């Protein structure tokens, strides 16, 4: 069952929405991991950045689902936040959770940048 198909949402937009959901989910779940780890993982700027990233991904997805005229501008900010979040997660070189979060953020950044370019 693919609930997007019939709604005339363009295939590209649909993929970007899914990338945003994936990035939102992993960032929110990674907050839990980082708080458990403590130390450098739980530094204020790092936690807040994960929360920023989760929220702007949610907002971008919603703007695309409303086929808003402003979805490109929201996706542009989203791409920047995701990019920064990816860099911040990559610092934890020996932590697989952080590496995977970085990868998902990087992917969402790319997807949102493309979307911003198309809009």
Candidates 12, 40, 67, 117: give the one binding a copy of itself (CB under 8 A). 67
Q: Are 21 and 57 in contact (CB under 8 A)?
A: yes
Note the maximum CA span of the chain.
Answer: 48
57 is a contact residue toward a copy of itself (CB under 8 A)? no
CB neighbours of 107 closer than 8 A, spacing ≥ 6? 19, 22, 23
Alpha carbons 49 and 116: distance in angstroms, whole number: 21
Q: Are 13 and 115 in contact (CB under 8 A)?
A: yes
94 is a contact residue toward a copy of itself (CB under 8 A)? no
Q: CB-wise, 30 or 111, nearer to a copy of itself?
A: 30
Which residues are at the interface with a copy of itself (CB under 8 A)? 1, 3-4, 6-7, 9, 17, 21-22, 25-26, 28-33, 35-36, 38, 42-44, 47-49, 51-52, 55-56, 58-59, 61-63, 65-70, 73-74, 77, 80-81, 84, 96-97, 100-101, 103-104
């Amino acid at each position: 069952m693919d609930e997007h198909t019939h709604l005339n949402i363009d295939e590209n937009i649909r993929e970007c929405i899914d990338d945003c959901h994936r990035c939102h989910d992993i960032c929110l779940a990674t907050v839990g991991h980082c708080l458990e780890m403590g130390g450098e993982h739980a530094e204020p700027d790092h936690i807040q950045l994960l929360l920023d990233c989760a929220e702007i991904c949610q907002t971008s997805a919603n703007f695309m689902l409303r086929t808003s005229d402003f979805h490109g501008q929201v996706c542009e900010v989203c791409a920047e936040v995701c990019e920064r979040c990816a860099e911040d997660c990559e610092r934890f070189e020996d932590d697989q959770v952080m590496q995977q979060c970085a990868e998902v953020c990087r992917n969402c950044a790319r997807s949102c940048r493309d979307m911003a370019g198309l809009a």
